A and B are shown apart, each in its own frame.
Chain A
């Protein structure tokens, strides 16, 4: 059974750093792209970027390039989304998904950034 299991909810202050994770199981991690999507009440669903764990080829949506970093560790079948300096506007639920067609979704990680 394909599963994407994400790390738990986070509460952070503006300017802090954060890494959230997405552990894959039930399929060959290196053979499928892993994407990240965020959801906010105001802007709905937004595609952040995608990585191919097999060779770490990473593509970012232009709006998010430079704002966050997507990575993957194929030795432990885990993808990551990280921020070096959070802003209040990063408050959202973040989902990892498999493939561009998002055929499987993680359960979501709620990130709250507030002073």
Chain B
């Protein structure tokens, strides 16, 4: 099973600041099959990024993804008030698909 590790566990920032979230895999992900999700309190997660760097059409361009192999990054260029949430990475290239433990982005 591929284990995903996310860092930091908690990121305290102010609105307008840049957020950089990391996801590391225990083995190389084939085809960069890594996704990022955002979960706000009381809501289901929503897809932010797939294929490590592809953004669905409904996601603002302040969200960007990068990385390959075992190291991946989600960047939020300028935090809006609605971006304070928990962020999860997931690998979907090798069964069983697995999620990281999440990074909480909270207001400083």
Residue numbers of A with Cβ under 8 A of B are: 35, 44-47, 59, 61-63, 95, 100-108
Bound form: Cα–Cα A95–B39 in Å:
13
B99 at interface (Cβ–Cβ under 8 A)? yes
**Size band of the interface chain B makes with A:** 10 to 19
Beyond known contacts A45-B45, A45-B90: 12 more, CB 8 A cutoff:
A45-B99, A45-B102, A47-B90, A47-B96, A47-B97, A47-B99, A61-B97, A62-B96, A95-B44, A95-B45, A102-B47, A102-B90
Bound form: Cα–Cα A103–B97 in Å:
15
B87 to chain A, nearest CB (A): 12
The answer on a CB contact under 8 Å between B88 and A45 is yes
Bound form: Cα–Cα A61–B95 in Å:
7
